A = this chain, B = another copy of it.
Amino acid sequence: MSRASASGAGRAREERSPAREAWALLAGLVHSGPPPFIVVARELGLRPPALGTLRALDEPKTMSEIAAVLYCDNSNVTGIVDGLEERGLVSRTPSEKDRRVKLIALTAAGSRVRSRLMATLEEPPEWLSKLSTGEQRALRDLLRTAVE
């Protein structure tokens, strides 16, 4: 029996799924260093959910929208925004259209903190920077295709 024993369709010279291998390789690369998000959170003296809230505030958002971004219950956002408000990083104002809704927006100080955060997160990791420019372009083009 020299035929492949894997479960895939009947393709000669069976190979391990390239998608699965790519995904495993990517996980290994991404987890190879300290998680940037946690590192930045410590530098800024904020906890990850608070930082995730700042990241989401590219424009003002409601409490519910923030809960959706954080994948947590609505009730948690109250405390998280409370903390950010006490630090003077966000403001909380009722919407004029529907007074049940509160709009959370960055203050000037919050905008500065968010800029520092985004600058760090947008910095490519070492494994990516060390690829050749041609390889970086090839990767970029593949990811553009994936985004469609």
The DSSP consensus for interface residues of chain A is helix
Q: How many copies does the complex hold?
A: 2
For residue A112, CB closer than 8 A to chain B, the reply is no
From A59-67, A76-84, A136-144, the one touching the partner chain is: A136-144
Contact residues in B for A44 (Cβ distance below 8 Å): none
How far is B136's CA from A25's CA once the two chains are assembled, in angstroms? 12
How far is B64's CA from A69's CA once the two chains are assembled, in angstroms? 32
Contact with B along A124-148 (1 / 0, CB 8 A): 1101111101011111101111110
Q: Which of A24, A29, A139: most chain B CB closer than 10 A?
A: A139
From A13-21, A89-97, A103-111, the one touching the partner chain is: A13-21
Look across to chain B and name the residue whose beta carbon is closest to the beta carbon of A39. Answer: B71
For residue A45, CB closer than 8 A to chain B, the reply is no
